[in-house]
Structure 1
Amino acid sequence: MIESRGATGGRPGGSSQKNGGKPRGGGRVDPRLREPTWRSAFIRALIAAGIFVAVMLALKGNPVSVALTGVILLGLYTPFGFYTDRFFYRRRMAKLGQQDRTKK
């Protein structure tokens, strides 16, 4: 007969001392409830501009003009994406009745 060991972790569903009292599962926050950052806007803009450049190069575009257009798009997409995210974040926070952390 083989017996299995009992639970060796902390209380089920509770918090343990190891993770500083955070809930199990990483305590992930809904991404829509996080404040927008310039970094996230830049990464999204980089991906969009990269896809644009790849498609245009596949269509046999001039590599120099395609690369220049990609850099211009990166410069336009970044602030546009940030301010769009911030608009929707503020609207969502107002709808939830929470205080906006971005206003000073």
Structure 2
Amino acid sequence: MINPPKLPEQLRNQAPGIIVVHYKDGDMRQRVFDHALIDQSMPEEVEDGIVTKEDVLRVIVPSIKKSTEAMRWEAGEPEHAGYELYWNGVIVWSEPAPQYFVVPLEED
């Protein structure tokens, strides 16, 4: 199930592909993709010089998730930490950051 988009429509339409990382404090970071442009950080798995939605889901999303795997949200807090992928202005994938529960330290 895809969550409703959090990125304003004007920003969703600024490029063919946009992946967004939402942080627990409400901040966000985005990376923009052009169908025919590969930047220096594009993995080698994207061989033909054309970035597709499938390339982003298969190669880029896992690397972004791995680099942000410490991002979590606590139970009872707003669930705004997570990831979104927009393609041609439409949200095509979203996933919340994994939930964790705070475990109190045991006293001696």
For normalisation by structure 2, the TM-score amounts to 0.25
Larger RCO of the pair (alpha carbons < 8 Å, separation 6+): 2
Higher helix proportion: 1
